[in-house]
Structure 1
């Protein structure tokens, strides 16, 4: 079959403000098995070019595929765009099979199929095996009702089959890296880059995060297999930067250390960045030198909040002391730390923002990123806030960089000003500026300048968007009513 995989254009800061793009790993992951099964597969990365929806539709119709597959890593905020694209495609082509996947469709399959009958199938959960079974069934005109992990309209009614089994061996399905041909994916200052995963899933039950629910079980790839793949990408594609998309790559310290050692043995001189739990950094203190030797230059640490009570409520399973210790350990080994801090877990007042600022200053991270809590219906946290009102009904902007939940004590304009004030004062501290201009490692100075330049654009852009573009609702809309 002729299959076109589509990464839709997206409004988020990551897509529009960095002026750099990473390949859509999820789409490449389902593309590889389809190529290996003999199908003709192409990638249309409309997010890379920021195509208008009409342009995306025209390119799809011009290619005239038998099936189109759509998904985006920003699943919630991308879904309205996917729905508009598919509706316009269906109006002009009633034969093409339209298939979507991702976290949001997995949990909102019923509403999507009810409201958007142009979508033929929704892949629920991990896609590699499900999409392969589905395309095979479509090609052979076979019954799709027996395929696990699938949702579709059956006799006009949304229907979902039994959940697909978890993929036990992540090395069983090859990533279709060749689909990147024609795209110059870069990151970390215009260096050739890809997104990669050592593992899937997370063993921690943070109430606001749906990753442990979506992936079901934490699993990891073979250390040798992943290292070999990275070597291939480096030598054949010129990839220098590897951005780890793992929720928690070091959950198994033995397996993680093995991977670091295997990669170090290849002596590839790569740049690695990723996210990790602060307590795992503290746990791995004795072999953090291997992190550095393997090529890690920055880790994102989810600090989330200054209040131990709030951290316990959202089941973060972290402590303030370990957060601070992790940042100090990373600095000792010349690895940058980015602390992410989430606004909205409590009913903040002005003093709470002050306390948040004090905590971030005491942590002294190299970089910070403030986000807004974005409750998803499938997370346990949704039950805590379902009765609260929301101020933003444009789902396309549910991207963690826009305030969604109404705050009781502060107007939205005050919230964003406090957020912007924290960001600029923390980043302009003498300590932070000294590291920015005089860090002893030239590569890290370059990395921090790159991030600072993006951050400066984002800082002004967010203020402009809030005051002149984003429309907040004046209606009283409760969270539970928005996600009916």
Structure 2
């Protein structure tokens, strides 16, 4: 079966950088190809000439996104049908994150306009959380896969292949309804009724998955060596942050073997010349002993690379950070969220201000560049709370700091709290996705984002904090620390140095 996997456009509509390649789709691609299917990976959000990079100001561009989705002359929208014509897929799989939902719907409609008999399959975080809403909102989507997709997608595609075989033999389409009912995590229609099968099974042995299929990416030459270095060493998160939807993957953390990870690193190192790798694990240092063993394995294998990861402030210590630094870790990203102890407790972050301050000291002592992520606009947050956030920024002095306005994502406890308090709707209509900007999704009143201040007061406060963060990041010391952390990469690949300079000027 010929399958086209698509990451729908979003950042491209307002000419922003979108780093890396679609990792989830590439795992699907390698799984399907291993089973004998023909797969093409179309990263429709890959921007070959981006300019914007200030993600703190990203919501300012959302109106452009909504406007261009409705513009049939937009070159991105005109490009998509040409890809269909070139590859003539039997099925199209589309990954859906909540901010990209409208774009995913648009791509689905373009598929059906190209060929009404081409199957459209949605997957990804938003599809997992809102399968019923999706099937109710549009007939352009035939199937929705909930949760981890490799096994369910392969089973579904094999079933659809059987149906098409019967059609090509002149016997009419094979009745696949009985087979569909056995696919875990699958949602579909039976007449006018939406069917939701039992929750998908998780893959315990992640080593059984083939490496992500980077080779099938359209425009492979447009990606940098650093883009190719995206890795996933584990799946799952045991924490309870109430703003995060990763809890849908259950609290169990599943790990790839270190041998398997090192094999992929060696392959990408040799195939693409990658020297900077990025681990996408929710919290890379959950298993302390495993991280120390990984650092030893890198040294023993004589692999000279840099790498970065995400973790939590309560999952680091001096010995661990020194070992990571020695093994090539040059950047760590952590979620701080707020400088208010009350807000940290409200969002179930499970950390304290004291622990945040202690970890910031440990990062500096280890000499590892670190990024701190903050949020504002959390329900019940006051101006005093945001003042504490700004004070904390100046006290802990991260190498880079980012702040974003909280956006209510379905499947989170904060979302449920918002529904109960009357701030949010449980569902959206198809039209809502094309008339609202993503930061306004599910809000009952787009001019009432928070319950402690007026829309006008919040807008002023948001602008003040974002300006403060931007000014902080522009400091010479912060820029120097960033360049120093990436110096090995620049020596080995000067092109990335000049690319970073271009990004810097786009940011400022």
What's the TM-score once normalised by structure 1's chain length? 0.84
The equivalent position to 1:57 in structure 2, one of 69, 81, 84, is: 81
1:339, 1:245 → 2: CA distance? 16
- Residue 207 of structure 1 is matched in structure 2 by 242
Answer yes or no: is the 8 Å Cα contact 1:8–1:46 preserved in 2.
Answer: yes
* Structure 2 SS opposite 1:261: helix
Q: Would you say 1:129 and 2:151 are equivalent positions? A: yes
1:315, 1:303 → 2: CA distance? 12
> Residue 299 and residue 186 in structure 1: after superposition, are their counterparts in 2 closer, same or farther (change >3 A)?
farther
Answer yes or no: is the 8 Å Cα contact 1:3–1:39 preserved in 2.
Answer: yes
- Tell me by how many angstroms 1:409 deviates: 2.0
Answer yes or no: is the 8 Å Cα contact 2:343–2:381 preserved in 1.
Answer: no
Mapping of residues 227-266 of structure 1, within 5 Å? 227-266=262-301
- Residue 11 of structure 1 is matched in structure 2 by 11
Q: How many residues are aligned here?
A: 449
> Residue 404 and residue 376 in structure 1: after superposition, are their counterparts in 2 closer, same or farther (change >3 A)?
farther
1:403, 1:455 → 2: CA distance? 33
Residues 35-84 of structure 1 show CA distances to partners (whole Å, capped at 9, x for unaligned) of: 00011111112111476123112311332111111115xx0011111111
Residues 274-309 of structure 1 show CA distances to partners (whole Å, capped at 9, x for unaligned) of: 211111113xx2132221122211111100011112
* Structure 1 SS opposite 2:180: coil
> Residue 381 and residue 254 in structure 1: after superposition, are their counterparts in 2 closer, same or farther (change >3 A)?
same
Answer yes or no: is the 8 Å Cα contact 1:130–1:150 preserved in 2.
Answer: yes
2:10, 2:160 → 1: CA distance? 30
> Residue 448 and residue 365 in structure 1: after superposition, are their counterparts in 2 closer, same or farther (change >3 A)?
farther
Answer yes or no: is the 8 Å Cα contact 1:193–1:240 preserved in 2.
Answer: no
- Comparing 259-268 with 245-254, which one deviates more in the overlay? 259-268
Answer yes or no: is the 8 Å Cα contact 1:11–1:396 preserved in 2.
Answer: no
1:396, 1:59 → 2: CA distance? 27
- Comparing 303-312 with 441-450, which one deviates more in the overlay? 441-450
The equivalent position to 1:180 in structure 2, one of 190, 204, 217, is: 217
Q: Would you say 1:163 and 2:234 are equivalent positions? A: no
Answer yes or no: is the 8 Å Cα contact 2:155–2:183 preserved in 1.
Answer: yes
The equivalent position to 1:272 in structure 2, one of 293, 297, 307, is: 307
Q: Would you say 1:397 and 2:438 are equivalent positions? A: yes
Answer yes or no: is the 8 Å Cα contact 2:308–2:332 preserved in 1.
Answer: yes
Residues 78-123 of structure 1 show CA distances to partners (whole Å, capped at 9, x for unaligned) of: 1111111111221231111111100101111111111111111111
- Tell me by how many angstroms 1:377 deviates: 2.0
* Structure 1 SS opposite 2:373: strand
1:68, 1:99 → 2: CA distance? 6
1:210, 1:195 → 2: CA distance? 21
Q: 5+ unaligned residues in a row in structure 2: which ranges?
A: 49-74, 164-175, 426-431
- Residue 386 of structure 2 is matched in structure 1 by 353
Q: 5+ unaligned residues in a row in structure 1: which ranges?
A: 460-484
- Tell me by how many angstroms 1:349 deviates: 4.3
The equivalent position to 2:462 in structure 1, one of 416, 441, 462, is: 416
Answer yes or no: is the 8 Å Cα contact 1:390–1:404 preserved in 2.
Answer: no
- Residue 327 of structure 2 is matched in structure 1 by 294
Answer yes or no: is the 8 Å Cα contact 2:390–2:465 preserved in 1.
Answer: no
> Residue 449 and residue 421 in structure 1: after superposition, are their counterparts in 2 closer, same or farther (change >3 A)?
farther
Q: Would you say 1:114 and 2:160 are equivalent positions? A: no
2:308, 2:424 → 1: CA distance? 34
1:436, 1:2 → 2: CA distance? 44
1:40, 1:399 → 2: CA distance? 39
Answer yes or no: is the 8 Å Cα contact 2:5–2:93 preserved in 1.
Answer: yes
What's the TM-score once normalised by structure 2's chain length? 0.80
> Residue 403 and residue 8 in structure 1: after superposition, are their counterparts in 2 closer, same or farther (change >3 A)?
farther
- Residue 330 of structure 1 is matched in structure 2 by 363
1:219, 1:399 → 2: CA distance? 34
* Structure 1 SS opposite 2:371: strand
- Residue 255 of structure 2 is matched in structure 1 by 220
- Comparing 137-146 with 362-371, which one deviates more in the overlay? 137-146
- Tell me by how many angstroms 1:193 deviates: 3.2
- Residue 39 of structure 1 is matched in structure 2 by 37
- Tell me by how many angstroms 1:432 deviates: 3.7
